[in-house]
């Protein structure tokens, strides 16, 4: 026996389907207008938590990138400062060699004056700042070698910065690491040389030369370390860029509206909606009443 069909059977499925089409259309237009595929967590619960996860990873990566650009600026400043120190010390070395080879001590006072000037230039480089940060004072952020003393005023701790998950690099350097420990640091050495020159102590020049060479070798090493760190930051930064790119791509794949698909679907739904309306209006207005 076939089911007895009443007015309800025309009206109800028509309304149900029309309503379903309507709600799909409103969802699609929300996706298109907001650009977000997920409007509330129930649209895609797993996708929502993925999007949240990606967002936090992207933010973290961006912070690392900022840290790196900051860090590499600071390290370049340090390299520049050390470069100045190196050339000053090389000049001092030449002067010391000159003094050691000099048959008489007539030029010693001129040499001593120049070395004192070079010493102040080294001090200036050692007190270099990147922005507001003294780069050679460890974590203290104070002028590391305040004039007139040669005593290191900073700390031996260094400022570390996180540049990638689990990777930290040292940014600031404690003065003694580069300029040698007090009371035999580079500045002390300059004073020593000047004192020896004042005493016309030519014989001491050999020992001073050896100390200068040892300090130069150390400074050159430290500069190398900073250079390597900087190069490493460069490659980490490139990796982070790639990571960020793929994270953004993955996030976009999950969280963003596929515009082409959404438009096509909307068009399909719209066609269905109109077809349903047309069919409904034709079926429902006909009844036996029209023919009796």
CA distance 191 to 197: 10
153 binds other proteins (CB under 8 A): yes
288 binds other proteins (CB under 8 A): yes
60 binds other proteins (CB under 8 A): yes
Q: Which residues pair with 174 in a beta bridge?
A: 137
CA distance 169 to 72: 10
Q: Could you please report the per-residue DSSP string of 36-67?
A: BS-SSGGG-HHHHHHHHHHHHHHHHHHHHHHH
CB of 82 to other proteins, least distance (A): 19
CB of 283 to other proteins, least distance (A): 12
| Closer Cβ to other proteins, 20 or 210, answer by number | 20
**In the 8-state DSSP scheme, what is residue 3?**
P
CA distance 111 to 92: 9
67 binds other proteins (CB under 8 A): yes
Which pair of tokens denotes residue 269?
């739904």
Interface mask toward other proteins for 163-202; x: CB under 8 A: --x--x---x------------------------------
Helix (H) or strand (E) holding 87: helix 45-101
| Closer Cβ to other proteins, 42 or 103, answer by number | 42
Q: Residue from 25, 30, 32, 44 that binds other proteins (CB under 8 A)?
A: 44
In sequence order, what E strands does the chain have? 129-130, 133-134, 160-164, 167-170
66 binds other proteins (CB under 8 A): yes
Question: By the criterion CB under 8 A, which residues form the site for other proteins?
Answer: 3-9, 12-13, 16, 36, 38, 40-46, 48-49, 51-53, 55-56, 59-60, 63, 66-67, 70, 132-133, 137-142, 153-157, 159-162, 165, 168, 172, 255, 287-289, 292
């Amino acid at each position: 026996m076939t089911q007895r069909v009443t007015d309800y059977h025309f009206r109800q499925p028509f309304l149900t389907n029309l309503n379903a089409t309507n709600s799909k259309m409103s969802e699609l237009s929300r996706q298109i207008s907001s650009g977000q595929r997920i409007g509330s967590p129930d649209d895609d619960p797993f996708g929502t938590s993925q999007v949240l996860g990606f967002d936090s990873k992207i933010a973290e990566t961006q912070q690392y990138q900022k840290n790196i650009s900051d860090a590499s600026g600071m390290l370049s400043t340090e390299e520049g400062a050390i470069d100045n120190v190196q050339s000053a010390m090389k000049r001092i070395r030449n002067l010391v060699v000159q003094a050691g080879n000099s048959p008489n001590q007539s030029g010693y006072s001129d040499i001593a004056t120049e070395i004192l000037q070079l010493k102040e230039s080294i001090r200036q480089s050692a007190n270099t700042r990147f922005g507001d940060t003294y780069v050679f004072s460890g974590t203290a952020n104070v002028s590391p070698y305040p004039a007139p003393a040669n005593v290191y005023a900073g700390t031996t701790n260094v400022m570390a910065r996180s540049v990638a998950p689990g990777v930290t690099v040292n940014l600031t350097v404690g003065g003694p690491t580069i300029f040698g420990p007090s009371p035999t640091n580079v500045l002390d050495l300059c004073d020593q040389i000047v004192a020896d020159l004042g005493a016309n102590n030519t014989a001491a020049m050999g020992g001073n030369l050896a100390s200068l060479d040892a300090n130069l070798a150390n400074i050159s090493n430290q500069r190398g370390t900073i250079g390597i760190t900087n190069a490493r930051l460069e490659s980490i930064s490139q990796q982070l860029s790639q990571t960020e790119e793929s994270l953004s791509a993955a996030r976009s794949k999950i969280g963003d509206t596929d515009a082409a698909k959404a438009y096509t679907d909307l068009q399909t739904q719209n066609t269905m909606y109109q077809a349903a309306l047309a069919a409904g209006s034709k079926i429902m207005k006909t009844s036996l009443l029209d023919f009796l």
